[in-house]
């Protein structure tokens, strides 16, 4: 089994063509967060409350290339809790940014694009992704298909505290753009914001790239919208109005009806009482509650308490 870290758009790390923006992979990103909770459990996710500190993965162009890469990899191995794994790092010319051979271990061979010799500060980002592959491989957690599996890898790296490095490697100026990983900058921002909301953390202070900061604020806005969807009481006026209309339809017709674009769906067990299901704003596991006004629910997967007005 193998894994490659592709740069955006093209085959070169620094000039990969136009960077994709927005939230095209949001469904897969959310499924990845749910899968992480299911596979790791609530307690293990909570054990990642502290992100990789910038000082631990700092890598200047004056540092020795191999010793420095080895040191940063070791920090990531420690952060992800893979104490017996050893990363052997080498550099070579290749089209991809990085590559890891997923074997039984305990030694794993990671190859980094030669280009990182001159861009050492981004080595931490590439390794955050590649070492996460090893973490997921050992958990035996994978999504079907390369694209979805890479999105899972980026999402897991970001949610478990090392992915801010990947977003910070996104830089654009008049002459060039560079981005690592498979999520768009805004999607990285989204996962980092979900994490920030969970742990009360502010990753914005770590960004050295102004574009990364902008993407983070967009991701944060999207993450906040997750918390403001009906039937959650935090939902806005327009959302609540539409919800009431959809609920009335379901009640009047004894038919859940179709509500395209709405995150919730109604159902009746035969002619039984109406219930509504919707994604948990934290872990995106679907939750079902009876339609009976104010309801407090607790997500069984991530334990978030949800105030609902059904
Ligand atoms: Zn990968
Ligand atoms: Zn949840």
Nearest to 130 by CA among 88, 170, 178: 88
Taking residues 73-95, what's their average pLDDT? 94
Structural contact between residues 133 and 153, judged by C-beta atoms closer than 8 angstroms: yes
Q: Which ligand is nearest to the CA of 166?
A: 1
Q: Which pLDDT tens digit goes with each residue over 20-50?
A: 999 999 999 999 999 999 999 999 999 999 9
66 Cα: distance to centroid of ligand 2 (angstroms): 41
- Which tokens is 114 given? 């030669």
How much distance in Å is there from the Cα of 3 to the middle of ligand 1? Answer: 5
* Ligand with an atom nearest the CA of residue 304: 2
CA separation, residue 42 to residues 34, 35, 46, 141, 231 (Å): 11, 11, 6, 16, 24
Taking the centre of ligand 2 as the mean of its atom positions, its distance from the CA of residue 287, in whole angstroms, is 8
Q: How far is the CA of 310 from the centre of ligand 1 (A)?
A: 41
3-state secondary structure the chain: CEEEECECCCCCCCECCCCCCCCCCHHHHHHHHHHHHHHHCHHHHHCCCCCCCHHHHCCCCCCCHHHHHHHHHHHHHHHHCCCCCEEEEEEECCCCCEEEECCCCCEEEEEEEHHHHCCHHHHHHHHHHHHHHHHHHHHCCCCCCHHHHHHHHHHHHHHCCCCHHHHHCCEECCCCEECECCCCHHHHHHHHHHHHHHHCCCHHHHCCCHHHHHHHHHHHHHHHHHCCCCCECCCCHHHHHHHHHHHHHHHHHCCCCCCCCCCCEEEECCCCCEEEEEECCCCCCEEEEECCCEEEEECCCCCCEEEEEC
Statement: the pTM of the whole predicted model exceeds 0.75: yes
Least reliable range by pLDDT among 139-148, 203-212, 234-243, 251-260? 251-260
Average pLDDT over residues 222-247: 95
> What pLDDT digit, counting tens, does each position of 161-204 carry?
999 999 999 988 877 788 899 999 999 999 999 999 999 999 99
CA–CA distance, 76 with 295 (Å, rounded to integer): 42
pLDDT at 4: 52
Ligand 1 centroid to 208 CA: how many Å? 23
């Amino acid at each position: 089994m193998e894994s490659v870290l592709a740069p955006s758009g093209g085959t070169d790390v620094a000039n990969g063509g136009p960077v994709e923006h927005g939230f095209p992979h949001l469904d897969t990103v959310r499924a990845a967060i749910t899968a992480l909770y299911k596979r790791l459990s609530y307690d293990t996710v909570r054990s990642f409350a502290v992100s990789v500190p910038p000082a631990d993965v700092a890598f200047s162009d004056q540092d020795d290339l191999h010793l420095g890469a080895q040191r940063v990899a070791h920090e990531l191995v420690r952060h992800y809790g893979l104490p017996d794994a050893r990363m052997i790092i080498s550099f070579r010319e290749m089209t991809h940014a990085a590559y890891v051979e997923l074997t039984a271990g305990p030694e794993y061979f990671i190859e980094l694009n030669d280009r990182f010799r001159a861009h050492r500060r981004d080595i931490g980002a590439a390794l955050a992704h590649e070492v996460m592959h090893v973490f997921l491989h050992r958990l035996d957690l994978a999504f079907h298909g390369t694209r979805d599996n890479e999105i899972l890898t980026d999402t897991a790296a970001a949610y478990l505290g090392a992915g801010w490095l990947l977003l910070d490697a996104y830089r654009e100026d008049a002459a060039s753009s560079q981005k690592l990983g498979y999520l768009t900058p805004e999607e990285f921002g989204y996962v980092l914001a979900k994490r920030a909301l969970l742990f009360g953390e502010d990753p914005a202070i770590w960004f050295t790239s102004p574009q990364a900061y902008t993407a983070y604020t967009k991701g944060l806005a999207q993450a906040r919208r997750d918390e403001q969807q009906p039937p959650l009481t935090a939902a806005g006026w327009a959302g609540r109005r539409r919800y009431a209309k959809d609920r009335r339809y379901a009640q009047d017709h004894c038919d859940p009806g179709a509500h395209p674009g709405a995150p919730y769906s109604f159902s009746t067990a035969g002619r039984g009482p109406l219930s509504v299901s919707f994604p948990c704003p934290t872990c995106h596991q679907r939750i079902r509650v009876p339609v009976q006004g104010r309801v407090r629910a607790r997500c069984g997967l991530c334990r978030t308490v949800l105030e609902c007005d059904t």
